[in-house]
């Protein structure tokens, strides 16, 4: 492999990196964040907003940043200029920056200095730097010139896992080293009188039973804190460490993390620790936990920083997110639980139900039928009325709306409903609706125009009452508008209701888990002749049950549309309409996004709430446009934000089975519940939200397993993305049209993410995440890419179908639609619709007594997917899946993705199949032929002629009658031993001779060959036999040591150019077409464990883009 | 999922339990031996970073059975005793450990040194790769003290970004360096084994355990960072194709007709670092954050005041009040 003269072409340059945030530092009002070799500079005070100032690229070459040290300035002014030492791995660089007045400029940077060993800590000693190195030595370094002034090793040259340097001069320099023996070694480098003479440790401190990952020294109090693998943080009283021989006393041993502790930081009055459990804990120095910040995902928090003046804690995660938290000491201000002291001699009876009317009025009813009001402002109880008919069984619901509309409703066991105006309880209206128990009550409000009360009676009959107020406000009118009938079930009552804008329909949820759509004015609908059919059905149903329930002669209207048992047996808990969608929550631990099209309810997406929260009780939209989920998690009430994965409020209420109520406004949220015969009230100022800020959204919590580019959207100047960076950042030439690439990624964290990658700003925006999978997602396939308005529509936008597959043999199909949306930072919005899903072992979940049996089937994982588009019109594509149980399976997608069925399979490989790839062969005067190539862990490739197989096997491409017995795919038409072990990448390109096939393997080798598709002789064909073409290998080349590790990404860009990516973190270009592939050049990238790569041409001005996904995401580009 | 799911996901894990190996890695050494005949003529073998002891088990079975064979296992951690294996609980970076090994071989050097050790991975790739390299270099360093010329050294490597630096370091000491991956090692794993044969230290090399062996750095001439010239040693896949596939998910009833029976792990870990934390968690004694409801207020009247954020911690109080910053993401 010798270099060619033109080996500079093409040259890949890094454009965008999303990696774990491994370094954070607050400098005045700036925040430095290290991500890979880049530094992100945030301004924390500009105009009252937090914003990103600049990404300083490639400070550490191929090293990753692990820390920053800002040179202390004698005059203490770091607001305008600073000298920053950036270090990580074995690299060190000094950069001088100017950042006053909101402008960032890099004034100077030193060379990148390479040390002989890992740098665990660095410290400025006047103009020089002291570095603590990997095998317990200290180096004095001149970082400007780049030369080592002195190196002093310790006598104990053990491998370190952390170190901490203390002191401001070489003379007083002290190192605390965390050795692999779990000990702390304190020693003084200046004790070496002769250069290079080893120094013995002054003190050895034992205590931790695991490796020490981080240390922090607080000089003012003489404290040292250590964080360890043993999941604990220890606080040591050390006094002045610069004085040899001092006493070290362990004064605190803090257990609070549920995994290894990565980081610790001592502040004047607090101790902050963060770890693998993704929790950042704030401790007092005495070892109490004052606050816990939860929200990061994945493998933990890697970096922490504190802004003591503003009381901020900043955390950087493995999920590449950066978050800012408000440190408030003990608990959150303005929030807490209080008992409302109901029990009194003047108020007999025990409380049965509680409700909140708006955020400042609380209503409660007792078993004597007395209704009480508690005003949170006045703070006293007041009896509104007493009605003996409502004793023992009474339902109580206040009307919705910010002030609860001033109404509440009660219902009893004899079919009686009472509507009470809170201000004038004497004007209450009573109605007897049923002959039996009222099972449930719910309200539905449309603006301020229409207010309905729904009451469920016996036999699934729901009475719909229309409430209106007299203009005087003193009287109310209650009129029964109509009756609805629920589908039959054992517990046949509704649980919740809401108007569907504009107001022609009501969406209801029932106890059986079904979501139902009723016309809000069925009579009117009938008159118009629209609802005739629905009315007739309802009439028939009504007739069937009239014997038991119907006192009135009126018709009972059935639902016009129903999604039976959407939320499972435990029932629907709430319905909310917002932004054109219907959201429902249920006790199955999920919330659904639905929409109504053509008068029919259609599920769009099922989302899971946070782990362990199986009882989702409600959903609210908050002021910033995001939603929060209410639910019960064991014995706690939780307000959870799906956007930040943060539990915003936790109330230890004892569970959801007791009577409770929730209300929220922008000013405050309130949660009331009954406990020990009293009303307990939790209130938090500021509504549901918390002041914590997401400086940068996180991507995936675990490794990315697959990256696929979907398409490009060109946004016109009206969607100009304001550049958050300095204008000088955008380099000339990179400004193209407003091109944004849409890329989807999937990950071991069980989610699929849709990303927007604009070419102009070099940023990435996560548009949406799909969380349907129960196990890791390993593969994606995309087809049917188009525009929302069809090919003729000039408006920007993108639609596509996506199949995702992964662990537990689970596969999902969904469609995405990306449209312009000026209100978002990316100027795009993505709508996802779930279409279908498939699991090989679905039958198992339906089996009774399965906990007593041993499931013998293999736990199949899908390793790779390929879409094979059929040329027959009207037929959905085939999806080929590589399966870990040794099979290649073919699925048929029909009805534009709404039906996903297993069609055929083969166990040819008998080993874990790692890759599948499909390609079509088109030649003049020949039929278009579909080929599938599969590759397994033994290094073999197999080719299947799908066109022939499908012609023979399943004539009409009908799925097999028995879903458990798929067709056989037969024998492959060609097999080839390409590698000695697993094939991790596979790609093909049609050429003049046939197809160029390339594969890359675990052993670091590449295999490239030309595959010819040869049509049989014509005479044979005349004989009636079918034209079955033969595959033949023409030229075959192997490059044994192309990479030093698995080749996981491979793309043939043209018949003469190929690019490969490997776990050895090299992106390499290969020249093809002149015999053996030859090395052109390679680039070292920063994402470890790259599992997949996708490349695509963007535009002639922009060249190619390439996305690498592994433990992070990196985007490269090169000019053709 | 249940306790059988790991048996299904990983056939070697299950086979190891069924065959009494302490870890599935035993199969890796057996398959390496199939390819390289590592144990031929070996009477004295050292297993570095031996815990939990599966490689020592293999060594004692293959060498200890020959009568004159000696196996020494070294680890920092305590390890459950194994018949026929002499255990040293010590640090491989210490000269005393090397001396102790030689002492057990009655002053004679070892024929084979193996090291299957790996640090507990942190998930940060560069740190993990560095720590693994240091472990390998420490093993190599002690091997220079105990290995006979022409002896063999097998150690685990992570094939990450800088693996070529390890290769170049090993090439200094051995006439043949190969990268081998047994079939029992998963495709998805970046681990492989450096099989170094023919120990031949450079002339004038003096083994010195007081100085750590530092890893090489990229060289613009023969081991480039991003150029065409890199030291990539030949790759060998060990174990024949008929052996079980470690990536494949097998049904519980294997093809050989044997009926599945759940086997508990052979040797559970001895005192892991997280033991105390786990015990505390089990007893519910991990520190918990102070929640508003844990410091209850008896009447609603006190509600409007912020909760008694203890006055002892006044560090940031005044600034928090002034902070009118409009924090938007």
Q: Closest chain B residue to A158 measured between Cα atoms?
A: B93
Residues 6+ apart with CB under 8 A from A13: A1083, A1116, A1117, A1118
Closest by CA to A375, choosing from A397, A400, A357, is A357
pLDDT bin (cut points 50, 70, 90) of residue A1067 is very high
Residues 6+ apart with CB under 8 A from B279: none
Lowest mean pLDDT across A373-387, A912-926, A953-967, B11-25:
A953-967
Residue-level pLDDT at A3: 42
Q: Which is catalytic among the residues B156, B281, B283, B288?
A: B156
Say yes or no to pLDDT of B327 above 50. Answer: no
- Per-residue pLDDT tens over the stretch A848-859: 666 666 666 778
Phi and psi (nearest 5°) for B164?
-65, -25
Residue-level pLDDT at A503: 87
Chain-wide mean pLDDT for chain A?
A: 86
B149 CA to chain A: closest CA distance, Å? 26
Residue-level pLDDT at B275: 86
List CB contacts (< 8 A) between B247 and chain A.
884, 911-912, 914, 937, 982
Residue-level pLDDT at A577: 92
Residue-level pLDDT at A734: 41
Say yes or no to pLDDT of B316 above 90. Answer: no
Q: How far apart are CA A650 and CA A656, in angstroms?
A: 13
Mean pLDDT across the stretch A904-928? 90
Say yes or no to pLDDT of A301 above 90. Answer: yes
Helix (H, G, I), strand (E, B) or coil at A1045: coil
Q: Is the dihedral of CA A184, A185, A189, A191 positive or negative?
A: positive
A1004 CA to chain B: closest CA distance, Å? 8
Lowest mean pLDDT across A674-688, A770-784, A882-896, A980-994:
A674-688
Lowest mean pLDDT across A295-299, A541-545, A606-610, A957-961:
A541-545
B96 vs A119, which has greater pLDDT? A119
Mean pLDDT across the stretch A128-152? 93
Residue-level pLDDT at A632: 92
Instruction: Give me the sheet containing A450-456, strands edge to edge.
Output: A440-446, A450-456, A461-469, A476-485, A556-557
Say yes or no to pLDDT of A264 above 50. Answer: yes
Q: How far apart are CA A321 and CA B129, in angstroms?
A: 24
Say yes or no to pLDDT of B72 above 90. Answer: yes
Q: How far apart are CA A225 and CA A227, in angstroms?
A: 7
Q: Closest chain B residue to A702 measured between Cα atoms?
A: B123
User: Strand pairing of A556-557 and A476-485?
Assistant: parallel
Mean pLDDT across the stretch A628-641? 90
Q: Exposed (0-12), middle (13-18) or buried (19+): which is A665, by Cβ within 10 Å?
A: middle
**Nearest beta carbon to residue A337 from set B245, B296, B325:** B296
Q: Do B315 and A62 touch (CB under 8 A)?
A: no
- Per-residue pLDDT tens over the stretch A420-440: 998 888 889 999 999 999 999
Residue-level pLDDT at A730: 41
Residue-level pLDDT at B315: 31
Which position has the token pair 């299950």? B14
The DSSP call for residue A727 is G
pLDDT bin (cut points 50, 70, 90) of residue A91 is very high
List CB contacts (< 8 A) between A88 and chain B.
126
Q: How far apart are CA A543 and CA A459, in angstroms?
A: 12
**Nearest beta carbon to residue B125 from set A289, A650, A1089:** A1089
Residue-level pLDDT at B171: 93
Q: Do B290 and A290 touch (CB under 8 A)?
A: yes
CB atoms within 10 A of CB A1043: 26
Residues A113/A144, Cβ–Cβ less than 8 Å: no
Residue-level pLDDT at B210: 81
Mean pLDDT across the stretch A949-967? 68
Using only C-alpha atoms, chain B has a radius of gyration, in whole angstroms, of 26
Q: Does residue B270 belong to the interface with chain A, where contact is any CB pair within 8 Å? A: no
Q: Exposed (0-12), middle (13-18) or buried (19+): which is B245, by Cβ within 10 Å?
A: buried
Q: Do B247 and A914 touch (CB under 8 A)?
A: yes
Task: Give the CA diameter of chain A.
Answer: 107
Residue-level pLDDT at A1018: 57
Strands (E), A761-861: 765-770, 777-786, 798-806, 810-820, 828-839
Cis peptide before A10 (omega within 30 of 0): yes
Tokens of A285: 């120095």
- Best B117, B142, B271, B293 member to test A by mutation, with max A CBs in 10 Å, is B293
The residues that bridge with A1054 in the sheet, in sequence order, are A1057
Percent share of chain A, pLDDT over 90: 54
Q: Do B5 and A229 touch (CB under 8 A)?
A: no
Q: How far apart are CA B238 and CA A111, in angstroms?
A: 45
Q: Do B260 and A856 touch (CB under 8 A)?
A: yes
Residue-level pLDDT at A521: 87
Mean pLDDT across the stretch A619-643? 88
B136 CA to chain A: closest CA distance, Å? 12
Q: Does residue A163 belong to the interface with chain B, where contact is any CB pair within 8 Å? A: no
Tokens of B70: 């000696």
- Count, in order, helices (H) and strands (E) of chain B: 9, 8
Tokens of A561: 């549309």
Which residues 43-62 of chain B have a CB within 8 Å of chain A? none
Q: Is the dihedral of CA A944, A948, A953, A958 positive or negative?
A: positive
A289 CA to chain B: closest CA distance, Å? 5
Q: Do A341 and B316 touch (CB under 8 A)?
A: no
pTM listed for this prediction: 0.88
Which residues 609-648 of chain A have a CB within 8 Å of chain B? none
The residues that bridge with A563 in the sheet, in sequence order, are A515
Complex ipTM over 0.95: no
Helices (H), A123-173: none
Q: Do A856 and B235 touch (CB under 8 A)?
A: no
Closest by CA to A395, choosing from A417, A413, A410, A376, is A410
Asked if residue B247 belongs to a known ligand binding site, the reply is: no
A519 CA to chain B: closest CA distance, Å? 41
| Three-class HEC string of A629-691 | EEEEECCEEEEEECCCCEEEEEECCCCCCCCEEEEECCCEEEEEEEECCEEEEEEEECCCCCC
Say yes or no to pLDDT of A131 above 80. Answer: yes
Say yes or no to pLDDT of B231 above 50. Answer: yes
Q: Is B62 a catalytic residue?
A: no
Q: Is the dihedral of CA A242, A244, A247, A253 positive or negative?
A: positive
CB atoms within 10 A of CB A612: 11
Which residues 16-45 of chain A have a CB within 8 Å of chain B? 20, 22, 45
B67 CA to chain A: closest CA distance, Å? 36
Which residues 60-79 of chain B have a CB within 8 Å of chain A? 76
Q: Does residue B227 belong to the interface with chain A, where contact is any CB pair within 8 Å? A: yes
List CB contacts (< 8 A) between B189 and chain A.
none
Say yes or no to pLDDT of A974 above 80. Answer: yes
Residues A102/A95, Cβ–Cβ less than 8 Å: no
Q: How far apart are CA A71 and CA B245, in angstroms?
A: 55
Q: How far apart are CA B162 and CA A493, in angstroms?
A: 66
Residues 6+ apart with CB under 8 A from B231: B164, B167, B168, B171, B222, B223
Residue-level pLDDT at A646: 86
Phi and psi (nearest 5°) for B140?
-65, -40
Q: How far apart are CA A916 and CA A1046, in angstroms?
A: 17
Say yes or no to pLDDT of B298 above 70. Answer: no
Q: Does residue A774 belong to the interface with chain B, where contact is any CB pair within 8 Å? A: no
Domains of chain B (ranges, CATH numbers): 11-224 (3.40.50.150)
Q: Do A157 and B299 touch (CB under 8 A)?
A: no
Residue-level pLDDT at B304: 30
Tokens of B57: 């088990």
Closest by CA to B194, choosing from B214, B213, B171, B212, is B171
Residue-level pLDDT at A45: 67
pLDDT bin (cut points 50, 70, 90) of residue A93 is very high
Distances (CA, A) of A716 to A465, A741, A794, A925: 51, 14, 11, 43
Q: Do A50 and B249 touch (CB under 8 A)?
A: no
Strands (E), B147-222: 147-158, 174-182, 191-199
Residues B31/B116, Cβ–Cβ less than 8 Å: no
Asked if residue B91 belongs to a known ligand binding site, the reply is: yes
- Per-residue pLDDT tens over the stretch B137-194: 999 999 999 999 999 999 999 999 999 999 999 999 999 999 999 999 999 899 999 9
**Nearest beta carbon to residue A1079 from set B228, B271, B300:** B228
Say yes or no to pLDDT of A1090 above 90. Answer: yes
**Best-predicted range by mean pLDDT among A546-550, A678-682, B77-81?**
A678-682
- Best B289, B305, B315 member to test A by mutation, with max A CBs in 10 Å, is B289
Tokens of A137: 């030595």
- Per-residue pLDDT tens over the stretch A1008-1040: 999 998 877 655 545 445 567 889 999 999 999
Residues A70/A30, Cβ–Cβ less than 8 Å: no
- Per-residue pLDDT tens over the stretch A164-196: 999 999 999 999 999 988 999 999 999 887 767
Mean pLDDT across the stretch A542-551? 40
Q: Do B249 and A858 touch (CB under 8 A)?
A: yes
Task: Give the CA diameter of chain B.
Answer: 86
b/e code A134-173 from CB counts within 10 Å (16+ = b): bbbbbbbbebeeeeeebbbbbebbbbbbbbbbbbeebeeb
Say yes or no to pLDDT of A724 above 60. Answer: no
Residues A58/A42, Cβ–Cβ less than 8 Å: no
Q: How far apart are CA A425 and CA A443, in angstroms?
A: 19
pLDDT bin (cut points 50, 70, 90) of residue A532 is very low
- Per-residue pLDDT tens over the stretch A479-522: 999 999 999 999 999 999 999 988 889 999 999 999 999 998 88
Closest by CA to A818, choosing from A758, A761, A773, is A758
b/e code A853-890 from CB counts within 10 Å (16+ = b): eebebbbbbbbbbbbbebeeeeebbbbbbbbbbbbbbb
Q: Do A330 and B214 touch (CB under 8 A)?
A: no
A1085 CA to chain B: closest CA distance, Å? 9
Tokens of A744: 């989807």
Closest by CA to A449, choosing from A471, A468, A473, is A468
Closest by CA to B15, choosing from B250, B195, B275, B329, is B250
**Best-predicted range by mean pLDDT among A375-379, B129-133, B312-316?**
B129-133
Closest by CA to A69, choosing from A15, A37, A102, A23, is A23
Say yes or no to pLDDT of A529 above 60. Answer: no
Residue-level pLDDT at A237: 94
**Best-predicted range by mean pLDDT among A218-232, A726-740, A1016-1030?**
A218-232
Q: Does residue A691 belong to the interface with chain B, where contact is any CB pair within 8 Å? A: yes
Residue-level pLDDT at A449: 83
Q: Do A324 and B227 touch (CB under 8 A)?
A: no
């Amino acid at each position: 492999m010798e270099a060619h003269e033109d080996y500079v072409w093409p040259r890949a340059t890094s454009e965008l990196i999303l990696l774990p945030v491994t370094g954070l530092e607050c400098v005045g009002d700036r925040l430095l964040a290290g991500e890979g070799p880049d530094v992100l500079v945030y301004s924390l005070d500009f105009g009252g907003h937090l914003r990103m100032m600049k990404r300083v690229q490639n400070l550490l070459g191929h090293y990753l940043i692990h820390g920053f040290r800002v040179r202390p300035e004698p005059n203490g002014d770091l607001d305008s200029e600073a000298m920053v030492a950036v270090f990580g791995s074995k690299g060190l660089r000094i950069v001088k920056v100017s950042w006053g007045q909101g402008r960032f400029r890099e004034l100077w940077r030193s060379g990148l200095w390479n040390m002989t060993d890992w740098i665990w800590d660095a410290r400025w000693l006047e103009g020089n730097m002291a570095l603590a190195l990997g095998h317990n030595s200290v180096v004095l370094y001149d970082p400007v010139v780049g030369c080592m002034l002195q190196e002093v090793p310790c006598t104990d040259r053990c491998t370190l896992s952390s170190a901490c340097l203390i002191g401001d001069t070489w003379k007083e320099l002290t190192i605390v080293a965390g050795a692999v023996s779990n000990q702390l070694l304190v020693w003084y480098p200046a004790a070496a009188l002769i250069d290079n003479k080893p120094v013995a440790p002054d003190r050895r401190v034992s205590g931790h039973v695991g490796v020490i990952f981080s240390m922090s020294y607080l000089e003012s109090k003489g404290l040292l804190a250590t964080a360890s693998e043993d999941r604990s943080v220890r606080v040591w009283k050390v006094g002045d460490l610069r004085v040899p021989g001092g006493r070290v006393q362990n004064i605190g041993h803090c257990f609070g993390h549920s995994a290894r502790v990565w980081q610790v930081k001592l502040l004047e009055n607090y101790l902050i620790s963060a770890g693998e459990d993704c929790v950042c804990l704030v401790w007092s120095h005495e070892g109490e936990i004052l606050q816990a910040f939860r929200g990061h995902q994945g493998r933990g928090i890697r970096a922490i920083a504190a802004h003591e003046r503003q009381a901020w804690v900043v955390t950087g995660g493995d999920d590449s997110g950066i978050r800012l938290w408000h440190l408030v000491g003990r608990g959150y201000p303005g929030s807490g639980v209080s008992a409302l002291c109901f029990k009194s001699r003047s108020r007999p009876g025990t409380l049965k139900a509680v409700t909140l009317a708006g955020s400042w009025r609380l209503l409660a009813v007792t078993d004597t039928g007395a209704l009480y009001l508690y005003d949170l402002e006045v703070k006293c109880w007041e009896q509104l009325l007493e009605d003996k008919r409502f004793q023992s069984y009474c339902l109580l619901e206040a009307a919705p709306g910010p002030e609860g509309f001033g109404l509440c409703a009660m219902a009893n066991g004899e079919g009686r409903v009472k509507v009470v105006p809170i201000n004038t309880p004497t004007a209450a209206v009573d109605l007897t609706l049923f002959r039996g128990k009222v099972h449930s009550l719910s309200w539905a409000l449309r603006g301020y125009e229409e207010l309905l009360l729904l009451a469920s009676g016996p036999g699934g009959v729901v009475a719909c009452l229309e409430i209106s107020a007299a203009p005087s406000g003193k009287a109310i009118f209650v009129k029964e508008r109509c009756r609805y009938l629920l589908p039959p079930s054992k517990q046949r009552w509704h649980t919740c209701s809401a108007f569907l804008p504009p107001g022609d329909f009501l969406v209801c949820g029932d106890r059986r888990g079904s979501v139902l759509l009723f016309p809000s004015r069925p009579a009117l609908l009938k008159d118009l002749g629209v609802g005739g059919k629905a009315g007739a059905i309802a009439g028939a149903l009504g007739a069937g049950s009239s014997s038991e329930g119907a006192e009135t002669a009126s018709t009972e209207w059935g639902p016009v549309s129903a999604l039976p048992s959407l939320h499972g047996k435990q029932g629907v808990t709430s319905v909310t309409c917002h932004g054109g969608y219907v959201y429902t929550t249920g006790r199955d631990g999920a919330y659904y996004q639905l929409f109504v099209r053509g008068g029919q309810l259609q599920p769009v997406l099922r989302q899971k709430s946070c782990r362990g929260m199986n009882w989702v009780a409600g959903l609210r939209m908050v002021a910033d446009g995001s939603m929060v989920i209410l639910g019960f998690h064991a014995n706690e009430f939780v307000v959870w934000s799906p956007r930040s994965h943060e539990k915003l409020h936790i109330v230890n209420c004892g569970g959801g089975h007791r009577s409770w109520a929730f209300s929220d406004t922008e000013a405050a949220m309130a949660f009331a519940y009954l406990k020990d015969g009293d009303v307990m009230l939790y209130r938090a100022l500021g509504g549901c939200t918390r002041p914590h800020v997401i400086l940068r959204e996180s991507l995936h919590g675990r490794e990315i397993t697959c990256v696929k580019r979907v398409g490009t959207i060109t946004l016109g100047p009206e969607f100009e993305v304001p550049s958050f960076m300095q204008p000088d950042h955008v380099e000339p030439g990179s400004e193209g049209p407003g091109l944004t690439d849409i890329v989807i990624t999937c990950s071991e964290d069980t989610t699929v993410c849709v990303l927007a990658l604009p070419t102009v700003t070099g940023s990435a925006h996560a548009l949406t995440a799909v969380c349907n999978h129960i196990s890791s997602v390993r593969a994606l396939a995309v087809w049917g890419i188009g525009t929302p308005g069809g090919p003729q529509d000039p408006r920007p936008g993108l639609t596509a179908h996506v199949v995702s597959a992964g662990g537990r043999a689970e596969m999902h199909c969904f469609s995405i639609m990306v449209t312009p949306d000026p209100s978002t930072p990316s100027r795009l919005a993505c709508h996802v619709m779930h279409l279908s899903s498939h699991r090989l072992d679905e039958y198992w979940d339906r089996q009774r007594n399965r906990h007593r049996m041993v499931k013998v089937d293999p736990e199949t994982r899908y390793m790779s997917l390929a879409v094979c588009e059929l040329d027959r019109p009207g037929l959905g594509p085939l999806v080929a899946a590589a399966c870990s149980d040794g099979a290649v399976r073919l699925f048929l997608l029909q009805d534009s993705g709404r039906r996903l069925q297993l069609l055929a399979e083969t166990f040819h490989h008998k080993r874990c199949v790692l890759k599948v790839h499909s390609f079509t062969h088109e030649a003049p005067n020949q039929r278009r032929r579909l080929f599938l190539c599969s590759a397994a862990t033994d290094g073999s490739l197999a080719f299947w002629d799908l066109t022939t197989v499908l012609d023979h096997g399943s004539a009409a491409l009908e799925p097999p009658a028995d879903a458990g017995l798929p067709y056989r795919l037969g024998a492959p038409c060609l097999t080839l031993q390409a590698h000695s072990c697993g094939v991790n990448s596979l790609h093909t390109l049609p050429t003049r001779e046939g197809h160029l096939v390339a594969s890359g393997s675990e052993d670091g080798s590449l295999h490239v060959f030309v595959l010819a598709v040869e049509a049989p002789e014509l005479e044979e064909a005349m004989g009636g036999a079918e034209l079955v073409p033969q595959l033949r290998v023409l030229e075959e080349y192997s490059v044994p040591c192309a990479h030093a590790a698995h080749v996981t990404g491979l793309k043939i860009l043209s018949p003469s150019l190929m690019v490969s990516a490997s776990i050895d973190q090299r992106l390499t270009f290969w020249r093809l077409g002149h015999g053996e592939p030859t090395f052109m050049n390679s680039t070292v990238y920063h994402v470890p464990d790259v599992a997949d790569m996708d490349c695509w041409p963007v535009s002639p001005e922009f060249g190619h883009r390439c996305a690498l996904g592994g433990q992070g995401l990196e985007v490269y580009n090169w000019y053709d | 999922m249940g306790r059988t799911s790991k048996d299904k996901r990983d056939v070697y894990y299950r086979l190891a339990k069924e065959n009494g190996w302490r870890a599935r890695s035993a199969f890796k050494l057996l398959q390496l031996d199939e390819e390289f005949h590592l144990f031929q003529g070996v009477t004295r073998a050292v297993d570095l970073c031996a815990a939990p002891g599966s490689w020592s088990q293999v060594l004692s079975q293959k060498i200890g059975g020959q009568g004159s064979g000696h196996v020494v296992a070294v680890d920092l951690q305590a390890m459950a005793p194994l018949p026929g294996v002499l255990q040293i609980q010590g640090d491989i970076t210490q000269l005393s450990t090397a001396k102790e090994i030689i002492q057990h071989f009655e002053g004679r050097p070892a024929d084979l040194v193996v090291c299957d050790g790996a640090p507990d991975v942190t998930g940060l790739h560069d740190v993990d790769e560095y720590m693994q390299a240091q472990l390998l270099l420490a093993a190599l360093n002690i091997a220079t003290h105990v290995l006979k010329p022409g002896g063999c050294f097998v150690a685990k490597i992570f094939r990450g970004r800088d693996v070529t630096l390890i290769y170049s370091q090993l090439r200094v000491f051995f006439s043949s360096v190969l990268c081998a991956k047994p079939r029992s090692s998963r495709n998805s794993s970046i681990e492989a084994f450096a099989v170094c044969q023919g120990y031949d230290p450079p002339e004038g090399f003096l083994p010195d355990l007081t100085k750590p062996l530092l890893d090489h750095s990229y060289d613009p001439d023969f081991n480039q960072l991003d150029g065409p010239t890199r030291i990539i040693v030949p790759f060998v896949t060990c174990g024949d194709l008929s052996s079980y596939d470690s990536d494949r998910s097998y049904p519980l009833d294997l093809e050989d007709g044997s009926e599945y029976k759940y086997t508990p792990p052979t040797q559970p870990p001895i005192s892991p670092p997280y033991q105390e934390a786990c015990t505390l968690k089990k007893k519910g004694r991990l520190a918990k954050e102070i929640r508003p409801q844990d410091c209850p207020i008896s009447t609603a009247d006190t509600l409007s005041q912020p909760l008694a954020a203890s006055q002892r911690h006044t560090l940031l109080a005044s600034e928090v009040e002034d902070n009118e910053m409009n924090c938007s993401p």
